Amino acid sequence: MKKFPTIENFLENAFEYEELDDLMRYIKEIGNGCLNRPLNIYGQSNCGKTVLARLLKEMFKDDAVIMDSWLFLSNFNNHWADKKLVIIDERIITDDRFIEKVINTYHSDYIHVETKGKMPREVFNNITFIIFTEHPLKENDNIVTMRMRLPIFYDRMVAELPEFSEYVKYYRS
């Protein structure tokens, strides 16, 4: 028996079976350092998007960052450029420049890093974007979309993360 029943229950209720399988592989690939197409997880208010975002941040620790689209569009990108996972948690994305920058970053081999008061540098692009919104982003072949549903409990899931992390390492569909 798995030792993360709250997380398992949440995920099984929040996603269709096929999408859950895709999400599990997606998370596993992030952990293995693979570059994935940007993922847009959307759903109504209070369905657990921010909870899932925080769980992913907790799971990937310093290899992940949660921010809003405005911060992502800023010229200074040193806080996200060398992460494995960039999580954008925002109700509505109205700026087309945001989507364009996500796609351009996804297709780039290197990222030009700008830090206030420091010399610019280049880093290898190994970023996967997960974008949480209330409505799906405009259709784009470069962005995968998944619909999320159902609210859940956060604290119980955090307690199960060590066992869940081990399970994902060896996940087979």
Does residue 159 lie within any of the structural domains? no
Q: What is the mean pLDDT of residues 41-69?
A: 94
Look at residue 82 and tell me if it is in a domain.
yes
Rounded to the nearest 10 degrees, what angle do helices 5-14 and 154-169 cross at? 90
| pLDDT of 151 higher than 70 | no
Query: What is the gyration radius of the CA atoms in the chain, in angstroms?
Result: 16
pLDDT tier at 170 (50, 70, 90 boundaries)?
A: very high
Strand partners, 67: 88
Secondary element (H or E) of residue 130 = strand 128-133
What is the C-alpha to C-alpha distance for residues 124 and 20, in angstroms, rounded to an integer? 29
Asked if residues 78 and 112 have their Cβ atoms less than 8 Å apart, the reply is no
**Structural domain tally of the chain?**
1
The answer to the question of residue 84 being in a domain is: yes
Q: Is the pLDDT of residue 1 over 70?
A: no
Alpha helices in the chain (DSSP H): 5-14, 17-31, 49-60, 69-73, 96-107, 154-169
Domain annotation covers residue 166 = no
Look at residue 109 and tell me whether its pLDDT is greater than 60: yes
> Is the pTM here over 0.75, yes or no?
yes
CATH code, 46: 3.40.50.300
Q: Is the pLDDT of residue 152 over 90?
A: no
